[in-house]
Chain A
């Protein structure tokens, strides 16, 4: 164990040393090249010295590099290429040194120098690939030119999860998105390949990673559950992590003997795993778009209109950076006049959120609001809108949020909006709504969350009494 630590210690000098021969040997080559010009002839004596130093450094790098390679797991074939190339660099630089010292040496100096240059490049690149990953250099380019299938792999919803095959349809997609990139045919970190079930069962160089029937004893699950900061945690902390439900699914599958063929319905399901499985039918694990912004692009609105609205104390802003969709809020302006509405009209394509709460807006002005047909959120709370004006709003087909709190509208008025299929939230607190309208509204708006408010928090005895210490006798 001690010896291993010593090896590792010296191995860790490799990243430090490795840059020296590269730089030094390049200087030697550069001087050689410059030396062709008479002006720099004076530099000639330095070349062999520099070559020798470079050669020694290359040797030291080779030794430390070898120690590093046996103390850590790297891709075997890459390591061996890197090692042989590095040895070649050392030898070629030594020969080149000999040639410089003794020009009679029967070998072409130009070819030797060119060879050393190429070897240095290759060795350096291989070294870089080992530490940063083979796609380190090309990744930014790939992102420009192609859509890499492995990186962009997403989990698709399953039509009927109970009929799906547990491994192929549930487990493999998780492994594919989160594990394959380091444990595949080309790259086997820790000697583990996960892209085929037989190889996954076989395990890595430290033994099996899956103990069928005992998830808690399985190395795979243990590694997933370690704290992210732990060195043994998988996936490594800079890589995309598994969600809690994905870990639960793996745990469940391994607990069921990690079976390769059976369907989901044939495996035992606990109460805990049922909702997780069901969720596979609907949502994908990729983050849902975090916006309520329409997908279609829209042209930029006229800055002048926005400025004149701002000058009238109305808050007008894009709803987020990098979008032209706008929101308007009359938070400090309780008087909505014709000019305001006319200006808003000119923002019709962009305006999606409008807050007119606590303003004087009434049925006449609603006409104009109803023409803002791109609105998705409209707040008319504590305004003078009545059923008559409300009918106009049926024109705003994309409306998702409508707040009518504190207005005079009734259920009859709201019923006029039944054509609004996208309405998700409807607020009717402190309106003419009465509890007997509930069933009517619920049938008219089956998908809408209707909040009629009027909640009460009952007064309990405890609310007004204090707990006191029992009097000691």
Chain B
């Protein structure tokens, strides 16, 4: 036998052995030690992975991201209208009546209130500033409301006040992010995004999350307060306008008719569908569904967003100014949107930052005008929702991003030209109404001068948890996997404020 033959024979034997080995019991057991182990490990890990239904209560379907979904619990609220007074209104001139503070008016602020504290603008020792409005008790609930909101005072029996809200951010942008995204830093999804992620939207011809701004400026934190963060982009708030086209570029350009539009969207979708076949990226499916929604919105949005087809007495009730972009128009629009099944409507009204640096930001001038511009329409909103049977299933939330100091602001140690108050994080007032919230109730108390919360203290996380609770979610279970861990709106905090639930 030559060397070559020997070699060949050995190869053949080796191959035969290899084949035979595949069929031996010993080989099977030996090899499967690792294989089965890995399988078992996989299933063990699988049970602690967050993909399971126990962890997140939401199933995400990329092809139909806005498909209406069911919440884990029967929801009290189908929709939310969130009225954000951007800039932070003064609780001391609206709902938190502090006669003791009046007695201290003009005196130097006691050192005990300043030690170890940081303020946005107050430096040195500021003077105390008594309430700049007259207060009275209203309704059967005897709620204190100032003369600045005479209309709202008439419906306090529909509302639950939260008198001791606190936050840990004293600048507008982080505080706004905190209230709406549960984090003072950028990059987290907003509460409306979480809601539409969890529930989709019932009206497939309209976006599920609509944002309306007024007051001449977007909120300080920019569009991130209605951004989708790490959630699929389809869940971000759609900013609409109450004058002109409701959504920019919603009209077909001149010379393009509806059929041509349809044909072009079909063509784009076809290209996208091909692309999906190649890459299997679920975001492409989301894109296709967004094109389809945009096409449908071209018809439905202008109709819903047009407040001119409302009767005159409704316009009077809300005090709208058709043709102008104002808060009252947005409030009326919010009702129309909710009526049409939009899940989350977020309103921002800028101009509440009453520092006293000029007349429009003075607590006894501009602030009162701001109050007047929102009082009538918010009252109308509550009553209008109520008479349409919608308040039972619509949660209305009102608030700012923080409160204002019981001290008069002395910017950089110098007296401001007008009466104003600095940013304050330790106590402010918010209120909620509708959808399973107690009527005519007040929760939480502040100390004699409204400086800090003494009971019923809640933080933005608690409010978020409560909103999600009313929408039918356990805020601890509404999660999204990102960067290797499940994220949630309330992060590691948040307690449902059960005391205000009816």
B317 within 8 A of A: yes
In the complex the two chains form, is B387's CB within 8 Å of A467's CB? no
A41 within 8 A of B: no
B215 within 8 A of A: no
In the complex the two chains form, is B498's CB within 8 Å of A290's CB? no
* Complex: A291 Cα to B317 Cα, angstroms: 34
In the complex the two chains form, is B73's CB within 8 Å of A291's CB? yes
Residues on A with C-beta less than 8 A from B386 are: 451, 453, 455
Supposing A405-B387, A457-B380 touch, asked if A332 and B151 sit within 8 A by C-beta, the answer is no
Residues on B with C-beta less than 8 A from A313 are: 204
Residues on B with C-beta less than 8 A from A460 are: 150-151, 376
B253 within 8 A of A: no
Interface 9-residue window, one of A4-12, A93-101, A316-324: A316-324
B220 within 8 A of A: no
Expressed in whole angstroms, the minimum distance between the Cβ of A20 and any Cβ of chain B is: 26
In the complex the two chains form, is A454's CB within 8 Å of B74's CB? no
A206 within 8 A of B: no
Supposing A315-B202, A331-B202 touch, asked if A459 and B392 sit within 8 A by C-beta, the answer is no
Mask, A358-369, CB within 8 Å of B = 1, is 000000000000
* Complex: A227 Cα to B456 Cα, angstroms: 10
Supposing A244-B499, A290-B73 touch, asked if A401 and B150 sit within 8 A by C-beta, the answer is no
Residue of A nearest to B388 (CB): A405
Pick from B204, B372, B379: contact of A457, CB under 8 Å: B379
In the complex the two chains form, is A320's CB within 8 Å of B369's CB? no
Residue of A nearest to B300 (CB): A332
In the complex the two chains form, is B387's CB within 8 Å of A451's CB? yes
A381 within 8 A of B: yes
Interface 9-residue window, one of B64-72, B104-112, B273-281: B64-72
A293 within 8 A of B: yes
Mask, B200-240, CB within 8 Å of A = 1, is 00111100000000000000000000000000000000000
Supposing A457-B376, A467-B369 touch, asked if A403 and B383 sit within 8 A by C-beta, the answer is no
B365 within 8 A of A: yes
In the complex the two chains form, is B72's CB within 8 Å of A459's CB? no
A307 within 8 A of B: no
Supposing A244-B456, A332-B203 touch, asked if A317 and B68 sit within 8 A by C-beta, the answer is yes
Residue of A nearest to B68 (CB): A315
In the complex the two chains form, is B203's CB within 8 Å of A469's CB? no
B384 within 8 A of A: yes
Residues on B with C-beta less than 8 A from A227 are: 457
B460 within 8 A of A: no
In the complex the two chains form, is A454's CB within 8 Å of B68's CB? no
Supposing A467-B365, A468-B365 touch, asked if A427 and B387 sit within 8 A by C-beta, the answer is yes
Residues on A with C-beta less than 8 A from B74 are: 290-293, 319-320, 323
B359 within 8 A of A: yes
Residues on A with C-beta less than 8 A from B57 are: 321
In the complex the two chains form, is B372's CB within 8 Å of A463's CB? yes
Expressed in whole angstroms, the minimum distance between the Cβ of B86 and any Cβ of chain A is: 20
In the complex the two chains form, is B70's CB within 8 Å of A332's CB? no
In the complex the two chains form, is A427's CB within 8 Å of B72's CB? no
Instruction: Kindly state the interface size class of chain A when it binds its partner.
Output: 35 or more
* Complex: A88 Cα to B149 Cα, angstroms: 75
Residue of A nearest to B319 (CB): A463
Residues of B contacting A: mostly: loop
* Complex: A401 Cα to B388 Cα, angstroms: 12
Mask, A400-430, CB within 8 Å of B = 1, is 0101010000000000000000000101010
Expressed in whole angstroms, the minimum distance between the Cβ of A157 and any Cβ of chain B is: 18
A71 within 8 A of B: no
Pick from A320, A379, A427: contact of B73, CB under 8 Å: A320
Residues on A with C-beta less than 8 A from B202 are: 315, 329, 331
Expressed in whole angstroms, the minimum distance between the Cβ of B277 and any Cβ of chain A is: 24
Residue of B nearest to A292 (CB): B74
Residues on B with C-beta less than 8 A from A323 are: 74
Pick from A320, A462, A468: contact of B150, CB under 8 Å: A462
Residues on A with C-beta less than 8 A from B362 are: 469
Mask, B483-501, CB within 8 Å of A = 1, is 0000000000000001100
Pick from A321, A379, A429: contact of B387, CB under 8 Å: A429
Residues on A with C-beta less than 8 A from B383 are: 455, 457
Residues on A with C-beta less than 8 A from B203 are: 331-332
Pick from B71, B317, B389: contact of A401, CB under 8 Å: B389
* Complex: A405 Cα to B456 Cα, angstroms: 38
Expressed in whole angstroms, the minimum distance between the Cβ of A407 and any Cβ of chain B is: 12
Expressed in whole angstroms, the minimum distance between the Cβ of B350 and any Cβ of chain A is: 17
Pick from B69, B70, B316, B389: contact of A425, CB under 8 Å: B389
B332 within 8 A of A: no
A230 within 8 A of B: no
Residue of B nearest to A467 (CB): B368
Supposing A290-B73, A290-B74, A321-B72 touch, asked if A451 and B359 sit within 8 A by C-beta, the answer is no
* Complex: A462 Cα to B71 Cα, angstroms: 43
Residues on B with C-beta less than 8 A from A319 are: 70, 74
In the complex the two chains form, is B359's CB within 8 Å of A320's CB? no
In the complex the two chains form, is B376's CB within 8 Å of A463's CB? yes
B472 within 8 A of A: yes
In the complex the two chains form, is B387's CB within 8 Å of A317's CB? no
B325 within 8 A of A: no
A466 within 8 A of B: yes
A243 within 8 A of B: yes
Pick from A287, A381, A463: contact of B388, CB under 8 Å: A381
Residues on B with C-beta less than 8 A from A225 are: 455
Residues B10-69 near A (CB distance < 8 A)? 57, 68-69
* Complex: A459 Cα to B375 Cα, angstroms: 11
B414 within 8 A of A: no
Residue of B nearest to A357 (CB): B339
* Complex: A427 Cα to B388 Cα, angstroms: 7
In the complex the two chains form, is B317's CB within 8 Å of A457's CB? yes
* Complex: A331 Cα to B455 Cα, angstroms: 43
Residue of B nearest to A454 (CB): B387
In the complex the two chains form, is A332's CB within 8 Å of B204's CB? yes
Expressed in whole angstroms, the minimum distance between the Cβ of A399 and any Cβ of chain B is: 13
B125 within 8 A of A: no
Residues on A with C-beta less than 8 A from B319 are: 457, 459, 463
* Complex: A381 Cα to B388 Cα, angstroms: 8
* Complex: A401 Cα to B76 Cα, angstroms: 13
B341 within 8 A of A: yes
> Which residue, A401, A429, A469, has most C-beta atoms of chain B within 10 A?
A469
Residues B341-383 near A (CB distance < 8 A)? 341, 359, 362, 364-366, 368-369, 372, 375-376, 379-380, 383
Residue of B nearest to A460 (CB): B150
Supposing A244-B455, A329-B341, A457-B376 touch, asked if A469 and B359 sit within 8 A by C-beta, the answer is yes
* Complex: A292 Cα to B393 Cα, angstroms: 12
In the complex the two chains form, is A429's CB within 8 Å of B68's CB? no
> Which residue, B205, B376, B498, B499, has most C-beta atoms of chain A within 10 A?
B376
B265 within 8 A of A: no
Mask, A127-149, CB within 8 Å of B = 1, is 00000000000000000000000
Mind listing 5 A-B residue pairs with CB under 8 Å? A244-B499, A290-B74, A317-B69, A427-B388, A455-B317
Which B residues fall within an 8 A CB radius of A?
Answer: 57, 68-76, 150-151, 154, 202-205, 316-319, 340-341, 359, 362, 364-366, 368-369, 372, 375-376, 379-380, 383-384, 386-389, 392, 455-457, 472, 498-499
- New A-B pairs, 4, CB < 8 Å, besides A317-B70, A469-B359: A315-B68, A320-B71, A454-B387, A459-B376
A-B complex: 6 closest residue pairs judged by Cβ atoms: A453-B387, A427-B389, A455-B383, A291-B74, A429-B387, A403-B389
